[in-house]
Each structure stands twice: as C-alpha cells, then as structure tokens.
Structure 1
Amino acid sequence: MQVDFGKVAVLLGGFSAEREVSLASGNAVLKALVSQGINAIAVDPKIDDISQLKKQGFDRAFIALHGRGGEDGVIQGFLTTLGIPFTGCDVLSSAIAMDKSKTKQIWQSYQLPTANYQIILKESFDETQCATILARLSGTVMVKPVNEGSSIGMAKVSNVVQLIDALHEAFKFDNKVMLESWITGQDFTVAMLNGETLPAIRMQTSNEFYDYQAKYQSTDTLYFCPCGLEEKKLAELNKIATEAFSAIGCSGWGRVDFMLDEQGNWKLLEVNTVPGMTPTSLVPKAAKQAGYSFEQLVFAILKQTL
C-alpha cells in the first residue's frame, strides 16, 4: 500500500536510563520504514536540536523513545505544540501510564485487578517503618521506581535490610518508589494495535523475576505465543487488557503487562505506551503471530498519524 507520509522523524535514543534500548528500537523502526520507500530520518534528542523539526520540514514523527522524555508526555506535548502528528498515545495518557502509582489508582477506581501496594517518597522515607510495611504487604515485595521502565531499579525483597538497601538503590532513579506485594505466578503481556488485542504472550525466565537481564540479555528466556491459555481465560485476559488500556486513555498502540497468580487471578502490572520495537521485542512477536511482518507492523503504527 503506497501512502505519502512525507518526511518522517524517527525519534530515538534520548536522555533516559533506557537510551540503549531506545536506540535499538529506533534503528529497527528506521530500517523498516526506509525499506518501504518512506523518507524516514533518525533524530536523537540528546544530539539533535528537535526545536527545528518543523523548520526542517518533518511532517510526522515515529516515537521510539523509551522512558522519561519519550513515554511520559514530554515529547508528546512538544510535538503537539509544533503541530507535528506522532505515533502512540496522547500527552495525558502517556504521562499517566509512565507513573505506575497514578495508573494503579485509576485501575482501582475501575475495579480492575492489581496487586496491593504502597508508595514511598524519598523525602519522607523512614527506615523504622520498613518492618510494618513488609508485614502489611504480605512479607515479600517488589520494589519499583515509579517512573522507570525495562525493570530498571527493581528488586525483590523479603526482609527489612533488603528493603532498605533496595529503596536506596531505587531512589537513585526516582524520588517516588512503589512497593508492590509479591505475586507468585506467570508473566503475560497483551499488545494493543488500533483498538484490537494481538495474540497474548507468556514469558518464562529462570531469573527470580522478568528483569532487565531476562528481557534484553538472557539467552534462556522463553516466549510462548500462542500463550497456551484456554479460550475462556484468554478472553478474560484480553477483556481486562482492553479495559485497562482504555481506562488510562491510551490509543493507537501499546502493551499491557500482567501476572496470573497461583490462584488463577489476573493482576495488572503496567501499561507500556512505547514498547520495545526490535524484531525480537514482545510487540513484534505478537504481531508476527497475528500475521504482520515487522515492516507491516511499523507501517500500521505510522499510519495512525494520518
């Protein structure tokens, strides 16, 4: 299908802790667009002057920036001000989805399933409260910087000393940290594209949890797509994913992450509004199962800007 997209900026790299992943995603997207005859050019906000995008004649932008400055509404607001259409979610939904605590609060207001949690602020952190916090959250917790992705700064802890150490480490990435009750179970993810769910993926790792190493470095992480769920349970998963994505106000494309606990209950983890886009990332895996090549997937995402 021939479409005149004009001059396309593929925004990649950036300033966040996920810069290296973003460079990989952006370069894969760039290659896929160019291979289809699209006038796409890499633009790195850390190196290039993005205030000149309009003057340089860019007609639209494919956002492949992960983390802060890319998924948090900042670049979305900037492009909106310039009048340049862009891929993915709008300013507000991007900002909300980046903040795990705000996301959870909205999901709870919709009675969507998510694990118990507590927010810890760096400025008011009191180490003497750690034992009480652990007890309230069932003794074992996942420590998560609120505004980071790719499992950066995350840790599983089950005693006070571990919790204090993990919080101090997480505070290096964010002044606001979430403590989430540990969920024993299986990891799932559902990619969203143009209002539809793509085939769900189940992830299996020998690590303690699906961490940065399991996502980007391990050679023994397993991905199952089809995910192996019975039809009724899969329908339940897709329904919750669609509702969770919509509740945040997300649109276009993205990914909703879950766990299925040992009692068979779904627990929402987070929404990714700019998921990884290397050929081996999760959304391309799901798209492939649905019959999309990587090039077709990238084209379908860019077409959202028309």
Structure 2
Amino acid sequence: MTQDKKVIAVIFGSVSVEHDVSILTGLQIFEAIDSTQYTPIPIYIDQNGQWYSGDELLNRKNYHFSQNIKDRLHKISLKICSNHNLRPFFEIENNSFFKKKNKIFFDVAFLALHGGAGENGQIQGLLSMLNIPFTGTDHFTSSIFMNKSLTKKILKDHNISVLNDQIIKKPKSLSKKNILSEINLKFPLCVKPCNLGSSVAVSKVTNEDDLFEALLTIFQIDDMALIEPFVENLVEYNISITKCLSDKIELSAIEKPIKNDNLLCFKDKYLNDGNDFDNKLQSPFSQGMASSSREINPKLSKKNEKFIKDSAIKLMEIFNFNGAPRIDFLSDEKSDEIWFNEVNPLPGSLGYYLWENADNPTSFTRLLSALIEQANNLSKKKQYP
C-alpha cells in the first residue's frame, strides 16, 4: 500500500507592493514541485486580502483577473480549529445558510509571498499559532529580517560590517523643514523603506529637495525610511543559505546582479529582460527573478568572498533560522570595501538559480522538497500532547 501524497497549499499574491512577483514565484513552484510526492493546490490572496482557490489560478493567462474568472474561483477562509492535532483546512464560502460548506484539507503551507504580511512574520505567526506546518523562517526571525535597521544593529553587535544609517519615522505633519532638520548624514544618500524588500522605492538623492520627495514616496508605503551614505562604484552580491538540504549549513552560489543605473531597482531585479509583468506571465515558463541579468559566481577578492560566506554563516548561527533566505551585500568596486545590506526571507523565485549553481548543485525540485520536509518535521516536534 502506497502512502498518500502530502497536500501542499501554495500561498501567493497578498496585499503587498510585491504582489505580482509573488504570483510568478507561486506559478514556478507548481511547475517544479515533485508531483510524485506532493499534490499542490493554489491559494491566492488578492490585493484586497480576499483568499481564493481553484484551477483557474494555474493558468497564467488568467492574470490579472476579469470578473468572469473571479466568478469561477472559490472564495475560501482558513479555519481555526481548537484541536491543533487535526489536519488543517480551508473552508469554501457560499451564500447559503443551509448548504454544507466544502473543505480543502492540506498538510503543509508553502509560502510564496513577498513583502508585507506574507514576509514580515504576520502570516507565519498565524500559522505557528495554529500549529500548521509552513516553509521558511519563523514569525520572530521574519519580523526582524524585514526591519533593515534592526537587522543591521544586531549584526553590527556581532562585528559584521554595515553602513551607518539613520531612521526617519513618518511624522503626523509632513513638514519639509521639520523632516530635513532631523537628517545628520551628508549627501549623496541612499533612501529606502525600512520594512520592505526587493529594492522597492530605493533612490539616490544628492540634495534636500530630492531627499524630501523620496521620503514622501516612501511614507506612502512604509512608516519608516532608512537613510544611508550612498556607496560610490556600487555593486551588489547575494548568497543564499539553508540547513534544509542536509544536517549541515549549506551555501549557494554567489550572484552579482547587473544594474542599469546607480542603484539596483525593483525593475532591474524582476523585469530586466525587457518584459513587463504581463508578458512574463504569458511566456512558456515564468522565470521571475531568475530571468534578471546577473553574473553567477563573479570574480571576487578572497577577502570579500570570505566576508560574504562568513557573514551568512554567522547570521545562521545567531538566528538559527529555517528556510533558504537570501543575504544581500553592498560593495564599492574600486575600493573593494564591502558591507552587509539586508536579508530577504522569501526571495523572488526562492533563489533557486543560486542553488542550481552551488558547489553542491541542487535542483529547484529538490529544494522545494527539502523545504517542505523541513517544515513538516519541525511541526511534528511542536505537536501538542
């Protein structure tokens, strides 16, 4: 008798500025998951926070949804059960008081969410409270990693080099004079949201007028802005780390993203092949972050390569996290100075292309399976008596 396949709820979308990238990641998971071991079901959260399921979600041509498509989807809600040892399920909503509501049972929640509540610990906290297995970092670690300034402070205390920074909180009154009077760093500066990822709303500013405009933009999507000295001759390096593949810590390949301007922006990361989001969805295989321009295993000084790898391992030792987050670094290409930048708990495309090019190459399918089994095994350890 063969064992039943685990049902994997692949959750993507969400109320986030990175909503569209999350859709690409979700579709990639469906194409790469081992269907001999798992039965994936799509769980989509729209930009208003409504949860849906249905086979229409698997057809990339259906994005963005017309009302006709939405009418063919099932509105669902995650049910809270008092017995934490019961199998988790979604309930399909209907408008009839008397009609029995159908249930969608699952075993593991695979988080393909980027930014917002999907990456900052909120959904992780909910699933953890309900004892539902989920992939990626836990709620505590996720919340820290999504706060760039807090993460930097912790790593600085562990002697990892970071840029000086200043936090500007969104004031009740957006007075230019009052806001600029708080700045104590010298131009040029780099300004970005403190609690968002993927280079959203990052800008270089060289004067007070540009700085104020950049802050106004950030305050529309975040309550805190992070200001740092701008790094001249800027290059970025990224690496992923995990312990889900074996009993030991493993590192991915290092990448050097190719930027079109002074800063690596959201478009460089996700749309740099000349396609917009809609075109990516229509392509034979939605590559998402994997289609961005990059150099894999670039030439690095031994000093910087050691710093990147040692910092990633130190980060794992400090937080003992799960999943396979991506760790980003900034460097001045001429002076060869390098600094830790930020952690991306759930990177676009899950950074699978970094693992395919690691010293110990790992396929996307194997990475997905390892993340699922890690989540399942951790949940078993937390079972209630």
TM-score normalised according to structure 1 size: 0.90
Distance 1:265 1:85 in 2: 41
Aligned to 1:169: 217
| CA contact 1:103–1:248 (8 Å) conserved in 2 | no
Residues 1:188 and 2:249 are matched in the alignment: no
Distance 2:324 2:317 in 1: 11
Letter in 2 for 1:244: L
Greater CA deviation, 212-221 or 113-122? Answer: 212-221
Greater CA deviation, 51-60 or 62-71? Answer: 51-60
SS of residue paired to 1:77:
helix
Distance 2:135 2:3 in 1: 16
Among 283, 297, 302, which residue is 2:367 paired with?
A: 297
Distance 2:31 2:213 in 1: 42
Residues 1:274 and 2:346 are matched in the alignment: yes
Distance 1:241 1:183 in 2: 21
1:296 to 1:75, Cα distance in 2 relative to 1, 3 A: same
Letter in 1 for 2:258: Q
Distance 1:209 1:5 in 2: 45
Distance 1:232 1:105 in 2: 23
SS of residue paired to 2:13:
coil
Aligned to 1:210: 264
Among 229, 233, 253, which residue is 2:324 paired with?
A: 253
| CA contact 2:6–2:37 (8 Å) conserved in 1 | no
| CA contact 2:137–2:322 (8 Å) conserved in 1 | yes
Q: Root-mean-square deviation (CA), in Å?
A: 2.3
Deviations 1:164-199 (A, max 9, x none): 111001100011111111112211001112132111
Aligned to 1:222: 293
Aligned to 2:312: 241
**Cα shift at 1:248:** 4.5
| CA contact 1:112–1:244 (8 Å) conserved in 2 | no
Letter in 2 for 1:186: V
**Cα shift at 1:212:** 0.8
1:218 to 1:70, Cα distance in 2 relative to 1, 3 A: same
Aligned to 2:356: 288
Greater CA deviation, 33-42 or 143-152? Answer: 33-42
1:179 to 1:230, Cα distance in 2 relative to 1, 3 A: closer
Structure 1: which 5+ runs fail to align? Answer: none
**Cα shift at 1:155:** 1.2
Give me the identity figure in percent.
29
1:268 to 1:5, Cα distance in 2 relative to 1, 3 A: farther
**Cα shift at 1:300:** 2.1
Aligned to 2:51: 47
Deviations 1:237-283 (A, max 9, x none): 20012213443453331010001224222211110111111xxx7x2
Among 175, 196, 199, which residue is 1:151 paired with?
A: 199
Distance 2:163 2:227 in 1: 10
Distance 2:180 2:195 in 1: 25
Between structure 1 and structure 2, the one with the greater Rg is: 2
**Cα shift at 1:288:** 1.1
Residues 1:118 and 2:152 are matched in the alignment: no
SS of residue paired to 1:103:
helix
Letter in 2 for 1:112: I
1:259 to 1:36, Cα distance in 2 relative to 1, 3 A: farther
**Cα shift at 1:130:** 6.2
Aligned to 1:38: 38
Among 57, 60, 69, which residue is 2:117 paired with?
A: 69
SS of residue paired to 1:96:
helix
1:249 to 1:72, Cα distance in 2 relative to 1, 3 A: farther
TM-score normalised according to structure 2 size: 0.72
Greater CA deviation, 118-127 or 83-92? Answer: 118-127
| CA contact 1:34–1:40 (8 Å) conserved in 2 | no
**Cα shift at 1:118:** 0.5
Distance 2:235 2:36 in 1: 38
Letter in 2 for 1:253: A
Aligned to 2:129: 81
Aligned to 2:337: 265
Distance 2:317 2:325 in 1: 11
| CA contact 2:180–2:212 (8 Å) conserved in 1 | no
Greater CA deviation, 34-43 or 140-149? Answer: 34-43
The size of the alignment, in residue pairs, is 300
1:114 to 1:41, Cα distance in 2 relative to 1, 3 A: same
**Cα shift at 1:235:** 2.3
